[in-house]
Amino acid sequence: MNERLTEQKSIYLQISEMIETDILREILLEEEQVPSTNELAKLYTINPATAAKGVGLLVDEGILYKRRGIGMFVANGAREKILAKRKAAFAENHVAPLLAEARSLGISKEELLTMIGERNV
């Protein structure tokens, strides 16, 4: 969690995305404790309530869970949930507009696949 906060989106969303990214990169593993909201608040110089809101999003999605009196932990299957969510967002935010633009330019599916293949993805 060495990333910096920006003004481009809400801080609590950035906190939740940073935790997700650490899970995807396997910096945080299943059943491992995540930093507390107070630790996050201190690290990023933010209000603990803001950090709690970001963590709360992940609890609501089943990515984190709370052990009473101990803290928040990464849930089993969290990495797979995050991957599925981010793949869906990628398709919506990047693939759909790409396909729409390709259609408007008259680019066939085969041409598009060739273009992608030439970029060595």
Q: Report domain extents, the chain.
A: 11-76, 79-118
- Per-residue pLDDT for the chain (121 aa), expressed as one digit of tens each? 656 777 788 999 999 999 999 999 999 999 999 999 999 999 999 999 999 999 999 999 999 999 999 999 999 999 999 999 999 999 999 999 999 999 999 999 999 999 999 987 6
pTM: 0.82
Environment class of 19 (CB within 10 Å of its CB; exposed 0-12, middle 13-18, buried 19+):
buried
Among candidates 78, 41, 29, which has minimal Cα distance to 58? 78
Pick the CATH number of 11-76 from 3.40.50.10440, 1.10.10.10, 1.10.1670.10, 3.40.50.1860: 1.10.10.10
Per the CB < 8 A criterion, the answer to whether 31 and 39 are in contact is no
- Chain-wide mean pLDDT for the chain? 93
